[in-house]
Amino acid sequence: MLRFNLIVAVSENFGIGLKGDLPWRLKSELKYFSRTTKRTSDPNKRNVVIMGRKTYFGVPASKRPLPERLNIVLSTTLQPAELPSDVVLCPSLEEAMKHLEEETLRDQIENVWIVGGSGVYEEAMASSRCNRLYITKIQQNFECDTFFPSIPDCFREVPPDADTPVGVQEENGIKYEYKVLEKRE
Task: Give catalytic residue positions.
Answer: 22, 29
Instruction: Please pick, from the candidates 116, 134, 176, 181, the single residue that binds ligand NAP as defined by CB under 6 A.
Output: 116
- The answer to whether 18 touches 144, Cβ cutoff 8 Å, is yes
Q: Which residue is nearest to ligand NAP (CB)?
A: 117
Query: Residue 107 Cβ, how far from ligand NAP at the closest point, in Å?
Result: 26
Instruction: Please pick, from the candidates 4, 49, 58, 100, the single residue that binds ligand NAP as defined by CB under 6 A.
Output: 58
Q: What are phi and psi of 88, to 5 degrees?
A: -95, 130
Stretch of 50-58, 126-134, 158-166, 169-177 contacting ligand NAP, by CB under 6 A: 50-58
Question: Residue 94: CB partners within 8 Å, gap ≥ 6?
Answer: none
Cα atoms found within 13 Å of the Cα of residue 94, Cβ hemisphere only:
4
What's the Rg (C-alpha) of the chain? 16
Handedness of CA 15, 16, 19, 21 (dihedral sign): positive
- The answer to whether 126 touches 152, Cβ cutoff 8 Å, is yes
Stretch of 16-24, 35-43, 154-162, 170-178 contacting ligand NAP, by CB under 6 A: 16-24
Instruction: Please pick, from the candidates 5, 52, 133, 176, the single residue that binds ligand NAP as defined by CB under 6 A.
Output: 52
Nearest to 36 by CA among 110, 113, 106, 125: 113
Stretch of 98-106, 115-123, 159-167, 168-176 contacting ligand NAP, by CB under 6 A: 115-123
Judged by the rule CB under 6 A, the positions of this chain that interact with ligand NAP are 8-9, 16-18, 20-22, 51-55, 58, 74-78, 91-93, 115-120, 123, 146
